[in-house]
Structure 1
Amino acid sequence: MLNIAYIGFGKSTNRYHLPYLKLRQDKFNIARVVTPTLGKRAEEQAALEAEGTIFSTEIDDIIQDQTIDLVVVVTPSDKHYQITKQLLLAGKNVMVDKPMATSEIEARDLVNLAYDKGLFLMPFQSRRFDSDFLTVQRVIKNGYLGRLVDLEVHMDHYRPNDGKELGTSVEGSLFDHGVHLVDQIISLFGMPNIATYDLRATRILNSPVDDQMEINLFYPKAFKATLQTTELAAIQYPKWQLRGTHGTFVKYEVDEQENDLKTGIMPGEARFGVDTPQHYGHLVYYNQSGDRIEKFIPSIQGDYGRVYDSVYNTLVKGTPKLVSDEQMLSVMKILSAGVKENGPHVIKF
């Protein structure tokens, strides 16, 4: 069993991490939590303390605890680099929420430090286990579409009144929602040859914080992946569109885990995160005989807890990390290039 310590006890820790560990108590023990606001989530804190978790306000409490096998950093994004480096220097294995740093330079520093010290370092890329993404992976693997030509993936909302007047690039859509999409594409296709960027502040004009983005990633054999996010989508756009030489796949609905978690439906409960048949992706392709085949593809059930399964297997069994060092750095290279210049621009890698 691995002893885990958390730095941060806000919404993300309680919504996207801890519920999944309740199904994995044979593998993980929540030994410590460090938070600057003790008692802010009194009910959740009391429940963990009743099971033996120690709460405190100082990171040094974790650093000095030699029984801790893994520290999970779930703090504001601009603190990730500083806290993660402090933990690595102290000899701790770390999983850090996304984005793992504010730049490629910072990320490379962390990766090199972890490598030199023989420590585990990985970002919490939970959306590799989104239902819709897992289903897209299967469609691609099964070869229904032939050679891929275009892929479009969206992460859209309608939040017209939530724009920010002040802030930094790490608070914008590219480093927030975009990091998930970039990681998904990197996990499928690796590093592109060229990227084009269009980052804009659309709700509060002239804000330094982008809230809408489009990235085009160009690969060999005429393949392009388009990643888009907006906060002004009053009418839903497909989450995924894939077009290839043999067919097309379209999926509208996103993974249901986040919606269920927000409404209090927890992992392990009946129908948690299960896609309904009317939300299955639509596939049209032509087989080797030239017949047009049209069907709906049942969604693979997602499970963010599988990130923790992968961490356990790496630390206990020595399996490769879910997110490799090369993939971490590729993601951060693409993010950093996006904010390297103002306005639409092209970057060659």
Structure 2
Amino acid sequence: MEKQLNVGLIGYGFAGRVLHAPVITSIPGLNLKKVVERRSDYSKERYPWVEVVRSANDLYIDPEIDVIVITTPSTNHVEFVRDALSNGKHVVVEKPFTATTEEADELIELAKERNRVLSVFHNRRWDGDFMTIREIIKNGLIGKVKECEVHWDSFNPIALSTNWREKSGIGTGVLYDLGVHLFDQALCLFGVPNTISADVQIQREGAKAHDYFDLTLGYDHHLKVTLKSSRIVRTKGPRYILHGDKGSFIKFGLDPQEQALIDGRSPANSKNWGREPEELWGSFETTAGGLNVKGAIETIPGAYQDYYQNIYDHITGTADLAVKPEEARMNIRLIELAIESHKLGKVLPVSI
């Protein structure tokens, strides 16, 4: 019988309720044992076996809790991660990891001192479209990539939200909310860039935090990576555009997993989890064997459950950690450099 790990979840807002609990409970080796909810018992409606507690300290002092998952706003991740690690727990924390690289460095060092696993929930590595692009590049389907453009746009022209992401201050705004995903994907595909230049703005009426960015990452071998996000895009273009020396790949649409989770489905109760309809498959044009080839590439089914399966496998000693805290820390460093590049109005070298 496989070893079971007990999980404590801090926070049952959107992230905890939609992105974490349904995925955690789809992994046979993980048992969602306790949930911290300050003023409600909503988690028991879907997971009647869980114990709802009012304080994170109830997780820290419970010797049966092996892993603590932190889904609070990133502006207070440090306190919860520090306390969980200090009490001997393995930790999964929502992205963005922290607001600053100094905070990330502190937590990484503490995890090493306590010999505990620390990982950041960069679930977008398991988006089907991104997984497909990794295979396209790995197999050289469009040759050596020379240009990559990634968008995350929406239409919300007036800022009315009271969400933490929309408030002023460090650790807020679209760079931390969405940009961190795009940085992580760029690093996974192409590694750490040599340079970064950024245009970061507040565009919308009533906005207090930056809500637009246009970033350029410079690499060797004439590779240029552009990352963009805007809240005033009513007619959406492609999400991914890749051009290589043998061809191109263009992909529209968002991975379907988050919407499926919002709709109450999970990897445990959905037969075709993460599978995209054919009309959303990406289009490509390339050359193979002297022949010009044009068509669609079936999107690999997305698999957020693989993140938590890896957490289980790593803690039980059968796999390397898929999302290392040092990688998540580099995403925060790039956000800092992007903000600095915008303020200075120039291209900056990427320093780790």
- Structure 1 CA distance, aligned partners of 2:271 and 2:318? 33
Q: Secondary structure at the match of 1:33?
A: strand
Alpha-carbon distance in structure 1 between the residues aligned to 2:338 and 2:109: 23
Structure 2 residue aligned with 1:278: 279
- Mapped to 2, the partners of 1:21 and 1:73 lie a distance apart of 13
Shift of residue 288 of structure 1?
Answer: 4.2
Residue 44 of structure 2 aligns with which residue?
A: 45
**Which position in structure 1 is the counterpart of 2:213?**
213
> 1:244 is aligned with what amino acid?
G
> 1:16 is matched with which residue?
19
Task: Say yes or no: does 1:123 pair with 2:120.
Answer: yes
Counterpart code for 1:11: F
Match of 1:36 in 2: 38
Give the alignment of 1:91-240 within 5 angstroms: 91-162=88-159, 166-204=167-205, 207-240=207-240
| Alignment-mate amino acid for residue 146 of structure 2 | V
Specify whether residues 265 and 325 from structure 1 end up closer, same or farther in structure 2 by C-alpha distance, changes over 3 A only. Answer: closer
- Deviation, 1:134, is 0.7
Give the fraction of aligned pairs with identical amino acids, expressed as a percent.
Answer: 28
Distance 1:198 1:60 in 2: 42
Q: Deviations over 1:281-311 (max 9, x none)?
A: 001012242x211120000000211110110
- My pick for the range that moved more, 26-35 or 245-254, is 26-35
* 1:315 aligned partner: 315
| Structure 2 CA distance for partners of 1:152 and 1:286, relative to 1, 3 Å | same
Secondary structure, aligned partner of 1:107: helix
Report the CA distance shift for 1:302/1:326 in structure 2 as closer, same or farther (over 3 A): same
Contact 1:131 1:254 in 2 (8 A): no
| Per-residue deviation, 1:174 | 0.3
Residues 118 and 324 of structure 2 are in contact (CA less than 8 Å); yes or no, is this contact kept in structure 1? no
Q: CA deviation at 1:45?
A: 2.2
How far apart, CA to CA, are the structure 2 residues paired with 1:345 and 1:83? 36
CA distance in 2, matches of 1:315, 1:122: 11
Q: 1:345 to 1:83 in 2, by over 3 A?
A: farther
2 CA distance for matches of 1:311 and 1:69?
Answer: 12
- Aligned amino acid, residue 218 of structure 2: F
2:87 equivalent to 1:90: yes
Instruction: Write the distance in 1 (CA, Å) between the matches of 2:23 and 2:16.
Output: 11
Provide, for residues 149-208 of structure 1, a one-character-per-residue CA deviation record: whole Å limited to 9, x for no partner: 000111111111235684224220100001111111112222111011111111037x54
1:231 deviates by 0.9
Q: Tell me the matched-pair count.
A: 341
Paired residue type of 2:79: Q
Distance 2:265 2:319 in 1: 32
- TM-aligned CA deviation for residue 339 of structure 1: 2.6
State the AA in 1 paired with 2:173.
G
Output one character per residue of 1:102-140: Cα deviation in whole Å (capped at 9) or x when no partner. Answer: 011111111111112211001101111001101111111
Q: Distance in 2 between matches of 1:209 and 1:284?
A: 40
Asked if 1:72 corresponds to 2:69, the answer is yes
Structure 1 CA distance, aligned partners of 2:189 and 2:46?
40
Matched to 1:152, the amino acid is: E
Structure 2 stretches lacking a partner, 5+ long? none
Matches of 2:182 and 2:16, distance apart in 1: 21
For residues 273 and 47 of structure 1, the distance between their equivalents in structure 2, rounded to whole angstroms, comes to 21
Distance 2:346 2:232 in 1: 23
Which stretch shifts more, 317-326 or 272-281? Answer: 317-326
2:10 maps to amino acid: I
**Contact 1:95-1:124 at 8 Å conserved across structures:** yes
| Residue aligned with 2:34, SS | strand
Whether the aligned pair in 2 keeps the contact of 1:127 and 1:180 (CA below 8 Å) is yes
Worse-superposed segment, 255-264 or 306-315 = 255-264
Structure 1 residue 7 corresponds to structure 2 residue 14: no
Q: Note the residue ranges of structure 1 that are not aligned, 5 or more in a row.
A: none
- The residue identity in structure 2 corresponding to 1:216 is T
Other structure's SS at 1:295 match? strand
What displacement does 1:56 show? 1.0
Q: Secondary structure at the match of 2:340?
A: coil
CA distance in 2, matches of 1:286, 1:106: 47
User: 1:15: Cα distance to partner?
Assistant: 0.7
**SS state at 2:329 partner:** helix
Residue range with higher mean Cα deviation, 254-263 or 106-115: 254-263
Name the structure 2 match of 1:304: 304
Give deviations 1:29-77, integer Å, cap 9, x for gaps: 11111121223x2xx32443x32x2111112111111111110000011
Conserved 8 A contact 2:88-2:114: yes
Q: Is the 1:84–1:94 contact (alpha carbons within 8 Å) kept by the matching residues of 2?
A: yes
The amino acid of 2:275's aligned partner reads V
Q: Counterpart of 2:284 in 1: which secondary structure?
A: strand
> Would you say 1:245 and 2:242 are equivalent positions?
no
